């Protein structure tokens, strides 16, 4: 089964994934054997026969020098494999994946390692969020219902992830209110709208934070950008969150300052992909009267 078929498999289709840890081990080893055939064809295929003293060792081959051109901070979500999303091969992306693509100390340390060690090849730091992010959804639910059972059941470690994302959620909520008025919170689609905008702002804010941390590296030619991957279309999307938009803004530069972050929040709050979750009545107020703030 190719990766496309695996990605598109729905819950209604037969489960072809390994069912036990032992089956997982076999699946992983079989996958590695196929990878070896392609990546290291000089290595003899694995055998169940123990090697003998007379057996010739595999000929030595040079180990490639690590030289990625892009470092990606992405989410751990199994549906967003960075290399496949950008059709990149080995040694092209330096990938850090963590739930919610949040910038904890270890993640920042990994990216700083890449910056310092791959100066000759690394040209871009990319924060990649994605639609339908579970970490963002959890943070939105914790924000909307802080005393709810799900909010209090987080372990300390899970709370750390959610707390990172909450900053973007609060900013998203403020942007929605400034764009649509305080009544937006009582809209039936408010939660969905808040998830949409928070996904984008979380990626943007993480990129801003990362840019602040590694500012000196930009002077050496490495840029920091962010983007959102749309699970439905497999496309990288820009601030209008519309996969159909054909523009070069799908990968956006990290905001340079808080004012840019605020302007971005307003832009996303007014985008059709966010406003589609709001009622026609509320949207009519925005476009028929000089009410909510311009963006």
Could you list the residues known to form a binding site for Zn(2+), using ranges. 75, 77, 130, 133
How many chain residues bind Zn ion (CB under 5 A)? 3
Nearest to residue 291, comparing CAs of 281, 84, 68, 116? 281
What number of other Cβ atoms are within 10 A of residue 150's Cβ? 10
Residue 196 CB partners (closer than 8 Å, separation 6+): 131, 241, 268, 273, 274, 277
Q: Most distant CA pair in the chain: distance in Å?
A: 87
Q: Which residue is it, tokens 């985008």?
A: 271
Contact (CB, 8 A) for 198 and 162: no
Q: Which is nearer to Zn ion, 37 or 84 (CB)?
A: 84
Q: Which is nearer to Zn ion, 179 or 241 (CB)?
A: 241
Enumerate the known binding-site residues: 75, 77, 130, 133
Name the packing angle between helices 156-180 and 190-213 (round to 10°).
110
In whole angstroms, the minimum distance from the beta carbon of 178 to Zn ion comes to: 26
Q: How far is CA 250 from CA 105, 186, 226, 243, in A?
A: 27, 31, 8, 9
In whole angstroms, the minimum distance from the beta carbon of 199 to Zn ion comes to: 8
In whole angstroms, the minimum distance from the beta carbon of 80 to Zn ion comes to: 7
In whole angstroms, the minimum distance from the beta carbon of 154 to Zn ion comes to: 16
Q: Which is nearer to Zn ion, 236 or 293 (CB)?
A: 236
Contact (CB, 8 A) for 92 and 70: yes
Contact (CB, 8 A) for 96 and 110: yes
In whole angstroms, the minimum distance from the beta carbon of 185 to Zn ion comes to: 24
Distance CA 203, CA 211 (A): 12
Q: Which is nearer to Zn ion, 1 or 78 (CB)?
A: 78
Q: Which is nearer to Zn ion, 36 or 236 (CB)?
A: 236
In whole angstroms, the minimum distance from the beta carbon of 145 to Zn ion comes to: 20
Nearest to residue 193, comparing CAs of 176, 171, 174, 170? 176
Residue 102 found at the interface with Zn ion (CB under 5 A): no
In whole angstroms, the minimum distance from the beta carbon of 155 to Zn ion comes to: 18
Hey, which residues between 43 and 82 contact Zn ion (CB under 5 A)? 75, 77
Binding mask 116-155 for Zn ion (x = CB under 5 A): -----------------x----------------------
Distance CA 71, CA 92 (A): 9
Q: Which helix (H) or strand (E) holds 226?
A: strand 223-229
Q: Which is nearer to Zn ion, 99 or 273 (CB)?
A: 99
Q: Which residues pair with 70 in a beta bridge?
A: 93, 124
Q: Which is nearer to Zn ion, 137 or 224 (CB)?
A: 137
**Residues in contact with Zn ion by the rule CB under 5 A:** 75, 77, 133
């Amino acid at each position: 089964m190719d990766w496309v078929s695996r990605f598109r498999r729905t819950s209604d289709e037969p489960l072809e994934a390994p069912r036990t840890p032992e089956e997982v081990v076999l699946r992983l080893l079989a996958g590695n054997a196929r990878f070896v055939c392609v990546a290291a064809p000089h290595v003899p295929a694995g055998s169940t026969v123990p090697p003998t003293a007379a057996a010739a060792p595999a000929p030595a081959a040079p180990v490639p020098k690590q030289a990625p051109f892009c470092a990606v901070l992405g989410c751990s979500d199994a549906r967003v494999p960075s290399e496949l999303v950008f059709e990149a091969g080995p040694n092209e992306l330096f990938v850090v994946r963590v739930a919610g693509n949040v910038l904890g100390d270890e993640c920042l340390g990994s990216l700083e390692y890449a910056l310092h060690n791959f100066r000759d090849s690394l040209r871009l730091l990319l924060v990649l969020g994605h639609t339908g992010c579970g970490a963002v959804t959890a943070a939105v639910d914790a924000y909307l219902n802080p005393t709810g059972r799900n909010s209090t059941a987080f372990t300390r470690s899970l709370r750390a992830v959610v707390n990172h994302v909450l900053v973007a959620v609060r900013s998203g909520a403020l942007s929605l209110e400034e764009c649509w008025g305080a009544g937006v919170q009582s809209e039936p689609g408010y939660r969905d709208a808040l998830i949409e905008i928070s996904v984008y702002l979380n990626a943007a804010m993480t990129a801003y934070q990362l840019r602040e941390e590694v500012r000196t590296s930009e002077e050496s030619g490495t840029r920091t950008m962010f983007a959102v991957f749309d699970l439905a279309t497999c496309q990288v999307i820009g601030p209008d969150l519309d996969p159909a938009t054909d523009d070069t803004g799908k990968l956006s530069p990290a905001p340079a300052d808080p004012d840019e972050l605020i302007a971005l929040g307003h832009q996303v709050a007014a985008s059709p992909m966010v406003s589609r979750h709001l009622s026609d009545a509320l949207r009519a107020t925005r476009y028929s009267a000089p009410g909510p703030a311009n963006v």
